[in-house]
Amino acid sequence: MKPRKLRFGVLGVGRIGKIHIENLVNRIPGAEVAALSDVAAAELEAVATRFGIERTFGDYRGLLDLPEVDAVAICSPTNLHYQMIVDAAARGKQIFCEKPIDLSIEKVQAAIEEVGRRGVQMMVGFNRRFDPNFLKVRETIAGGLVGQPHVLRITSRDPAPPPEPYIRASGGLFLDMTIHDFDMARYLMGSEVTEVYARAAVLVDPVFATAGDWDTAVITLTFENGAYAVIDNSRKAVYGYDQRVEMFGSEGMVTVTNNTPDTHILCDGVGIHTALPLNFFLERYAESYLREMRAFVDAVENRTPVPVGGGDGLKAALMALAARKSALENRPVKLAEIYQGVTPACPVS
């Protein structure tokens, strides 16, 4: 007998929602999408039609009431995440939630506790862990090929700033953009961060200053294992999406270059020219979005722990808040200053 597929309800059919829907519908044989919800009715219907999904709901609670829905993918704006998590957990749904869980540490913590109480799993969408490049770096480190980690370097630059309304609602550079790098740093280092020092500036566009935000940052992380990481961010790299990491250790170094649309090399009378990086996250991380959702489906089906849990979301958010405080006060800030509570167990893999 053919095994029953895992049935998803997707909450939010915007840019990131569509990615997950397409992957669930077309690329993950063990899953299917049973229902969608969104407050934007026209877009909701368009997406439902495109992917042949019958059930749609303007109010996500209707979707959650469907008994045939096993799991939800929460792809709504950040400020809705918390309530959706709580409601989904109350109905026993397995939860995949986009990052960040919430801009407030208290709500993140509460969401984690609620999920734990209800006995469901919650995976957080740090998709980059599933990117083939970074995965290979992680495996190389975990395999001992660079020895003891000493210095991690992460460069993460967007091709262009987001629109102003996005900036204002984003929670700021550290919670919106660097949070991926904070998670990556923990993931690659295999150790927890104890202290953050951040320098930030507005060098790209004054709109960031008027929004009380920054567009450029360099951050130093200190880890429990004695190693350091340096992260540098920019909201605008004219040459495209720049996503590199490099781990240096006692026995070697592993790094990755950017991905490109092709491998051509043109030599002319002026120089040697190659392709720019893939422009932005939809192209660059297409594979990682697919792999993370597969990992969630596998974990739910096999009743194994999800590879990226609520505790990971909490840790990254703490680092972001520490970085903001550090940048504002120009001094190193310990994570313990931000949060004294007991963080849930989420051993770095």
Residues 165 to 194: which contact a second copy by CB under 8 A? none
Window 29-58: contact mask with a second copy (x via CB under 8 A):
x-------------------xx--------
Between residue 59 and residue 98, which ones bind a second copy under the rule CB under 8 A? none
Cβ burial of 221 (10 Å; 0-12, 13-18, 19+) is buried
| Selected binder of a second copy within 39, 66, 86, 145 (CB under 8 A) | 145
Question: Is 4 one of the binding residues for a second copy (CB under 8 A)?
Answer: no
- What is the SS3 assignment for 212? coil
For a second copy, which residue of 133, 156, 178, 288 counts as binding (CB under 8 A)?
133
Distance from the first to the final alpha carbon of the chain? 36
User: According to CB under 8 A, which residues from 258 to 277 bind a second copy?
Assistant: 258-259, 261-276
**Closest CB to a second copy among 232 and 301?**
232
Exposed, middle or buried, 273 (CB in 10 Å: 0-12/13-18/19+)? exposed
Q: Give the HSE-up count for residue 220: Cα atoms under 13 Å, Cβ half-sphere.
A: 11
d(CA 72, CA 94): 6
> Interface with a second copy includes 26 (CB under 8 A)?
yes
Q: 105-118 and 78-90 helices cross at what angle (nearest 10)?
A: 20
CB of 68 to a second copy, least distance (A): 19
The interface with a second copy within residues 216-255 (CB under 8 A) comprises 216, 218, 220, 222, 226-228, 230, 232, 234, 236-239, 242, 248, 250-255
340 binds a second copy (CB under 8 A): no
Residue type, 242: D
String marking each residue 298-337 x if it binds a second copy according to CB under 8 A? --------------------------------xxx-----
Q: Quote the least distance from Cβ 110 to a second copy, whole Å.
A: 33
User: What tokens does 141 get?
Assistant: 């480190």
- The contacts of residue 187 (CB under 8 Å, 6+ apart) are 126, 129, 134, 138, 348, 349
Of the two residues 107 and 157, which places its CB atom closer to a second copy in the complex? 157
CB-CB contact of 198 with 218 (8 Å): yes
